[in-house]
Structure 1
Amino acid sequence: MADSVVTGLFVPMSLLYLSATSGESLVRVGILLSVAGAITLPFPLWVGRLVDGVGPKRVVLVAQLLQAAGFAGYLVTTSPTMLFIAAVVTSLGQRAFWSSIFTLVSYLADGDSDARARERWFGVIGSLRAAGYGVGALTAGVILSMKSNLASRGAIGADVLLLLVAAVLVGAGIPGRAAPSAGRDREHQERGYRVLWADRPYLGLVALNTAFALCNVMLGIAFPPFVTHRLPSMIWAIGPLLAANTIVQAIFQPMVVRLIRSLSRDRSLCLAGALWASWACLTIAPEWAPRVIWLPCLTIAILCYSAAQLVHSPVSNALAADAAPADVRGRYLAIFQTSFAVATVVAPIMFSILFEKSSYAPWTTLALLGLLTIPATLFLASRLPKPALLGGVAPV
């Protein structure tokens, strides 16, 4: 949750604050942050190997400390070079965190006797993440309204403190996993990624999740500019609707996990694809509908998006964990998480190009993408381990 508070607090004010402290334009700051993120994309390959070697808890701890160091760097940034170095350190910490945290949660879930416990564990994590991001974003909005550089610096200082506190809590409150012996570790180093690259069904799962992740990240990227340019009288609704999504995520995740318990994981993912397709169709519907139903259309669209995310997040992470051999799970889950990293890089470019062609193009593409995940999921399900689809752990 602390990591989500940090993200929600920093992202809205990042460009403005870093531009003011470094003396660079918003465009230049954006480019520096994008480049810093892009050059760290291969980092999870090494992180996954490290997780299997020393255990996920230690990697999560280091990731929190790296992020804290990066944000501390933002506090003393006075030049583009310093900004870039701080951004790289922060990005490395974020890549390490997301490449290890789900393995840590998965190992904790291993001790649960419930065969579908992973969904519950990942559901709780998702609920806390949504609540944390909402708190951070709300606080950032207040700070931005103050138009005070001192307040912004205080917020980033709070980010550093939160990350350090999170590291202490992880270190003190979560049991560690003993690192494998040196001989066993060498065996893993020899077979780890070789096994993964040969596991075509799992690589297919990563590719499929990239499509889901594109739908997932498009709300924040595509929804505000679409409403602003095509439905200008509804601009006032953007904030409340995005806030509603966060509230729904935070409150209803445990309930949704219980509701989909009777479904196999492949059917749950098909449901998520259908819901994201519905979200895209309902978002574009006001282009042809009377103005009186614009707000109901957009509201139902956001609820469809929220429902899709509530289904997809715990199920996809649980499936990815159970479909991975236990002894190299760190590598597998690190690669699985790159699907979200790729989506965050592709989504802005994809939306910009499609929206320039027409206002319909992004939403038509997303609707088709959501629908195509259904046959793709069913095809892939026949090739994945059945225990992983039903909640058991795939054999090593």
Structure 2
Amino acid sequence: MRGLRRWWDDTAGGLPATFWYLWSGLLINRAGAFALLFLSLYLTAARGAPPSLAGLVVGAYGIGGAAGTLLGGVLADRWGRRATLLAAHLAAAGLMAALAFSTHLAVIAALATLVGVAHSMPSPAFVAAIVDVVPEARRSRAFNLQFWAFNLGMAVASLLAGILAEASFTALFLVDAGATLAAAVVIALKVPETLTRRPALTPRAVVGRRPGLHTALTDRTFLVFVGLTFLLAVLTMQTSTIMPLAMREDGLRPSAYGLVVALGGALIVAGQLFVPRLIEPYRKSSVLAVSTGLMALGFGALTVADGLPLYLGAAVVWTVGQMLAAPPNAQINADLAPPDLRARYQSVFYLTFPAASFVAPALGGLSLEHLGERHWLVVGALGLLAAAGHLLAGPRRERRVAALRAAAAKPVESVR
């Protein structure tokens, strides 16, 4: 019992109550965000849309998500984290309820776009609020718990979505709206505003220009890190875009694909809480290089995979890489952001995921069609390129973080 208590203290001890309310809101939000998993099926089965039109509507949701990410970052720095979270959750709940009763395809497409905006707005605000309230020494653990909650919520969402979709698509959307509303209630009652208004001297001192969204979009050190994260996201997206096609070509049934995905989710839920203690002694750039290298090895191994056991073994390797990458990736992103621009930097960072969700299937499909199993060698090479990039970019990132900390400390020293 004493050993278990020590492990829990190392994993989650010392985190403020506000973090746990944010964590609870995120978990409820993710566990309830299941309707969009079945949007394409809903459009074709319930609304009679052809697959091409269903694909366009789902794509519209993705476009809305990209816009919502940037909007959420700007508003979280201007309005505040709490106000942005509440506005986004309430809007998403209302839009999802409207979607439940809409029958015209044009209206559904417009609502899906707006839902994409509302669903993506909270991400920068959530992370910025975590950085606001969690001491720097505990942020790696906080981000690790955030990643764990996200995956646990998605696992619950996948289970509930299948059950509700078989019962009623209307119920699917309404329960999703109810879960989003419940997350809003937790935030409204328990999460205070975490944004501290500061004079905009810190970012100007470091980047040499008036702060704004353009600061993040022209910050070379940060954009190199975003680019490396984009490569990692392209690797991760292989599991939901190209791997199902490859498994089908190998003669494997859809249930085999479900088993591979379920294994990855189970590993994250069972093992993610042990990651911070494992990686704490090492530099973040080294951890990211190792983790990305493991992902490259796992996906590269699919070149010779022709049966379920090899796919399962490869999934273990790349999932371990994902688990190791999550905390340092989030912490570096937080460290590189000037205090006055935390949410804006988060919004630019989160653009990597919708971008990867477009690039991975678009180019991956062509690659698989023309290269066959050699596609996985290309994916592995991208992973190794990202691993080398983290090793090369690590020292410059560390110098940048040190400069930001020194600039942030100057106003405090002057007051003294």
TM-score normalised to the size of structure 1? 0.87
Residue type of the alignment partner of 1:205: F
Counterpart for residue 91 of structure 1: 116
TM alignment of 1:292-371, pairs within 5 A: 294-371=307-384
Residue by residue over 1:146-187, the C-alpha shift from the partner in whole angstroms, topping out at 9 and shown as x without a partner, is 4x4xx2221221100000000110121222125638x869x9
Conserved 8 A contact 2:65-2:116: yes
Counterpart for residue 33 of structure 1: 58
2: CA distance, partners of 1:195 / 1:286: 45
State the 1:233 CA deviation.
4.1
C-alpha RMSD over aligned residues:
2.5
1: CA distance, partners of 2:348 / 2:126: 13
1: CA distance, partners of 2:164 / 2:213: 45
* Identity between Structure 1 and Structure 2 (%): 22
For 2:282, which of 223, 238, 263 is the aligned residue?
Answer: 263
Counterpart for residue 275 of structure 1: 294
Aligned residues: 376
Counterpart for residue 9 of structure 2: none
Q: Secondary structure in 1 aligned to 2:235?
A: helix
Counterpart for residue 226 of structure 1: 246
**Structure 2, gaps ≥5 residues long:** 1-26, 409-416
Counterpart for residue 21 of structure 2: none
Conserved 8 A contact 2:90-2:180: yes
CA distance 1:53–1:143, shift in 2 (3 Å): closer
State the 1:376 CA deviation.
0.9
State the 1:219 CA deviation.
0.9
For 2:95, which of 43, 47, 70 is the aligned residue?
Answer: 70
More off after superposition, 48-57 vs 314-323: 48-57
CA distance 1:142–1:373, shift in 2 (3 Å): same
For 1:191, which of 208, 211, 225 is the aligned residue?
Answer: 211
CA distance 1:39–1:142, shift in 2 (3 Å): closer
Residue type of the alignment partner of 2:153: G
Conserved 8 A contact 1:325-1:395: no
Residue by residue over 1:129-151, the C-alpha shift from the partner in whole angstroms, topping out at 9 and shown as x without a partner, is 1111111112223345x4x4xx2
State the 1:29 CA deviation.
1.7
Q: Secondary structure in 2 aligned to 1:41?
A: helix
Conserved 8 A contact 2:228-2:390: yes
Conserved 8 A contact 1:59-1:100: yes
CA distance 1:198–1:221, shift in 2 (3 Å): closer
Structure 1 position 200 matched with structure 2 position 220 = yes
TM alignment of 1:118-133, pairs within 5 A: 118-133=139-154
1: CA distance, partners of 2:270 / 2:125: 25
Residue type of the alignment partner of 1:136: A
State the 1:46 CA deviation.
3.5
Conserved 8 A contact 1:245-1:302: yes
For 1:379, which of 378, 392, 409 is the aligned residue?
Answer: 392
Counterpart for residue 30 of structure 2: 4
CA distance 1:163–1:29, shift in 2 (3 Å): same
CA distance 1:197–1:11, shift in 2 (3 Å): closer
State the 1:248 CA deviation.
1.2
State the 1:34 CA deviation.
0.5
1: CA distance, partners of 2:184 / 2:148: 20
Conserved 8 A contact 1:21-1:77: no
Residue type of the alignment partner of 2:345: Y
Conserved 8 A contact 1:71-1:156: yes
2: CA distance, partners of 1:246 / 1:161: 25
TM alignment of 1:96-245, pairs within 5 A: 96-109=121-134, 112=135, 115=137, 117-144=138-165, 146=166, 148=167, 151-178=168-195, 180=197, 190-230=210-250, 232-233=251-252, 235-245=254-264
More off after superposition, 19-28 vs 71-80: 19-28
Residue type of the alignment partner of 1:250: V
2: CA distance, partners of 1:194 / 1:334: 12
Residue by residue over 1:356-379, the C-alpha shift from the partner in whole angstroms, topping out at 9 and shown as x without a partner, is 113224312210011001221112
2: CA distance, partners of 1:322 / 1:268: 16
Q: Secondary structure in 1 aligned to 2:35?
A: helix
Residue by residue over 1:223-249, the C-alpha shift from the partner in whole angstroms, topping out at 9 and shown as x without a partner, is 22211122x146442212211111111
State the 1:394 CA deviation.
7.2
Q: Secondary structure in 1 aligned to 2:49?
A: coil
2: CA distance, partners of 1:357 / 1:285: 17
1: CA distance, partners of 2:54 / 2:253: 30
Counterpart for residue 291 of structure 1: none
Counterpart for residue 272 of structure 2: 253
Conserved 8 A contact 1:324-1:394: no
TM-score normalised to the size of structure 2? 0.83
CA distance 1:336–1:178, shift in 2 (3 Å): closer
1: CA distance, partners of 2:75 / 2:37: 32
Residue type of the alignment partner of 1:379: L
Counterpart for residue 290 of structure 1: none
